[in-house]
Chains A and B, each alone.
Chain A
Amino acid sequence: MNDERENILGRIREALRLPAPVPGAHERQSAHPVSEREAAVHIPEWLPSVGVTFEERIALFQKNAAELKAQFVLLDGAEQLASQLREIAAAEGWKKVATHANELAECAANSLGLPVVRTDSGYDVHELESCDAGISTCEALVAQTGSVLVTSKSSGGRALSILPPHHVVIARREQLIADLPAAFALIKAKYGPENYPSLISFITGPSRTGDIERILVLGAHGPKKLTILCV
């Protein structure tokens, strides 16, 4: 199909020989020619505002999470984390959980005293599907949107954060970042340009649908519950 590549690129070049009016021309607004990357510099100034201090940002994350129907709990240290997790496990009657190699996540999962499936070195899909919860870490928490940023490298692969009915995210306070531009900058600095994980995903609340009469239902295909435990 290599010749189609040349055909398509050829048609594009042919089409672009006539210049198009610059954007906003029909509104007679700042109809200046577009210079390469000037446009993107101001993105943070247009997006929803985020506070400057840690307290403001954590409060914003908390508010967004509540609106999204995700649980967010701020904890002090590994002790509290383990006891919080045990409480949830008991309340929901978990029988089996899944996690991946990570000090914080594994330590918390092990303290439950339940069978633990690890996704690090190959796993059985049916086994993972039958777990009551997937416990993973993340790359960052985004205050602006209440999102959890995960990647296939940080969070035990692609399926751990989407297949079990309850996704528990374990995050550290310093992982809270302000906004979406900061999230993309973080991924770029950490992995770019050659080592990007094959999946990068912003998880914003539990799985949801409004496809039936625009009525919100949680747990359409992915997790019905999303819990974020922050130490």
Chain B
Amino acid sequence: MSTTPAAAEFKRDATTLTKDLRHRSLIRTALKKYEIARDSKKALFQDWQSARQTAAEIKWDAINHLDTHLADFARNLEARGTRVHWASNAEQAREIILTIVREKKASAIVKSKVMTGEEIHLNEALEKEGFEVVESDLGEFIVQLRKEPPYHFVFPAMHLTRGQISETFAKELGSAPTDSPEELTMIARRVLRGKYVTADIGISGANFGIAETGMISITENEGNARLTCALPKVHIALMGIEKILPKFEDLALFLPMLGTAGAGQTLTGYNSMYGGPRQPGETDGPEEFHVVLLDNKRTTLMADPEQRDALHCMRCGACLNVCPIYKNVGGHTYGTTYQGPIGSVITPHLRGLQQWKHLSFASSLCGGCTQACPVKIDLHHHLLQSRRNAIAQRPVWWEKIAFRALSYLFNHAGLFSLGMKLGRIGQIFHPLVKATRIDPAHAWTQSRELPKVAPETFREWWQHRK
């Protein structure tokens, strides 16, 4: 496989982190807690498997008729005073938001969790023009202070210990060191309270967009999105076009599935639907509500019918949480906005197959992700399809020769049994070169044992049996 810079970085970081036992145990402890909670909440469903099938069918309908649903969504939002903007790519989305922010002469912007914002590097664009942007989700706030990208698109600061967080707060906010998660949370609460009250603009994401009623739905635990959408005079929501659900009541299924699969909660703390700016007769809420719809290559993924169901994703993170690769290489190693199996499937479509094909090979194909997915995305088969597509687009000459040789060997019984004999002799001498540069199995034997060649092949055993 030819190596791209992204692939080289992935390999380098993965090699370092898989050896970091402290990191691995931190992630494992966190995900074990998640697993226990998820299983207990999943068990409350009368029929989780049927719920998955229904969710998959509703999302199938949404995506395969997206043109009509999206037009309905925009029309219904506009009918109640919301400005809907359409952005084909990251640059257009940034420009739309910057124009609104400039027009309002905003001095402070408060932001609740927006993964599409990470995707289009919104914070950098706003800060470059001198606007102050504060992340209000606690995990996002912590990684923003550390100038790191989120480690996990649901649990952004999962890789940090309370000690590290306390150090960051002490350095950036001047707070006294503490090892109590509660005190650390209260420090952030005090800092951010001031921001909500003074911010001119609130920026949020959207977990779902309801076509029928023209609403966005936001799921969160902390109440930071509720405050972001309540106090500032202008609310901007940035949303991927695939987030659409056709009907209002579809949320009755999707909200508990998102809560259960995402964090092991039957329902997440706050699930809020916003259908416009402050309406006549209402006492508060923003004067302006803008919804920015982002394509950014989602239609490219859509054009591949085989993998179109990857657009069903509601970003619950369940596939990351069960992934043996994610658990060992960690979230930052991916170098993508969306990590884990779903990230490995969609990133090649969003950012280029040849540049990101290595992610499809970073999988054990165990299928844990596919089983965990609440909307039944066929994740591990998509990884296989991406491997196939990448090779078909740009074949690797030496792999071709190797497979041809292997096929010749397997088709000639005499040659095959000679090979087996040579292997048996060869392994006697293997310890001399094991794990060194001239070891043909070098990549494997660095950290693993090579399985022993059996003293007798099956054919031999069959011939000699009594």
Contacts and interface: CB of A to CB of B under 8 A. Distances in A.
Q: How large is the interface on A (under 10, 10 to 19, 20 to 34, 35 or more residues)?
A: 35 or more
Contacts of A12: 66-67, 70, 241, 299, 302
Interface string B94-112: 0010000000000000000
A7 B158 contact: no
B343 interface: no
A16 B62 CA distance: 12
Interface string B26-67: 000110011000000000111110110110111111011111
Contacts of A204: 265-271
B253 A222 contact: no
B213 interface: yes
Given A23-B60, A192-B213, A204-B267, A210 B305 contact: no
Quick one: which of A126, A157, A200 has the most chain B CB within 10 A?
A: A200
B147 to A, nearest CB: 17
B285 A196 contact: no
Contacts of B155: 210-211, 214
Interface stretch (A87-95, A103-111, A116-124, A168-176): A116-124
Nearest to A14: B303
Contact of B256 (A42, A119, A180, A198): A180
B282 A188 contact: no
Interface stretch (B217-225, B332-340, B456-464): B217-225
Contact of A48 (B74, B160, B266, B312): B266
Given A11-B295, A188-B249, A222-B226, A217 B181 contact: yes
Contact of A8 (B54, B278, B293, B378): B293
Given A16-B66, A26-B381, A36-B61, A202 B185 contact: no
A199 interface: yes
B250 interface: yes
B263 interface: yes
A198 B85 contact: no
Interface in A192-231: 192-193, 196-215, 217, 219-223
Given A162-B230, A198-B282, A207-B223, A212 B184 contact: yes
A interface: dominant SS: loop
Given A7-B88, A16-B302, A214-B158, A202 B275 contact: no
A39 to B, nearest CB: 4
A20 B64 contact: yes
Contact of B273 (A1, A24, A200, A207): A200
A217 B182 contact: yes
A22 B60 contact: yes
A158 interface: yes
Nearest to A129: B197
Nearest to B378: A26
A158 B230 contact: yes
Quick one: which of B88, B252, B272, B312 has the most chain A CB within 10 A?
A: B252
Interface string B239-280: 001000001111111011000000101111111111111110
B278 A198 contact: yes
A220 B270 contact: no
Contacts of A119: 283-284
Contacts of A55: none
B414 to A, nearest CB: 41
A200 B272 contact: yes
A152 B60 CA distance: 32
Contacts of B250: 40
Given A202-B255, A209-B221, A212-B142, 13 more contacts: A5-B86, A8-B241, A12-B302, A23-B309, A46-B51, A64-B266, A129-B193, A157-B284, A163-B227, A199-B272, A207-B223, A221-B196, A222-B269
26 contacts: A1-B96, A19-B305, A24-B376, A27-B376, A40-B54, A40-B250, A46-B54, A47-B51, A122-B284, A123-B284, A125-B197, A152-B285, A181-B249, A184-B249, A198-B276, A200-B273, A203-B270, A204-B270, A209-B185, A211-B137, A211-B155, A212-B184, A213-B29, A214-B29, A219-B186, A221-B189
Interface of B: 29-30, 33-34, 44-48, 50-51, 53-54, 56-61, 63-67, 70-71, 74, 80, 85-88, 92, 96, 136-139, 142, 155-158, 160-162, 165, 181-182, 184-186, 188-189, 192-193, 196-197, 213, 215, 221-224, 226-227, 229-231, 241, 247-253, 255-256, 263, 265-279, 281-285, 289, 293, 295, 299-300, 302-303, 305-306, 308-309, 312, 370, 376, 378, 381
Give the 5 A-B residue pairs with the shortest CB-CB distance, closest first.
A222-B223, A23-B56, A220-B222, A158-B230, A46-B51
Interface of A: 1-2, 4-5, 7-9, 11-16, 18-24, 26-27, 29-30, 34, 36-40, 42-43, 45-49, 64, 100, 119-123, 125-126, 129, 144-145, 147, 152-153, 156-159, 162-163, 179-181, 183-185, 187-188, 192-193, 196-215, 217, 219-223
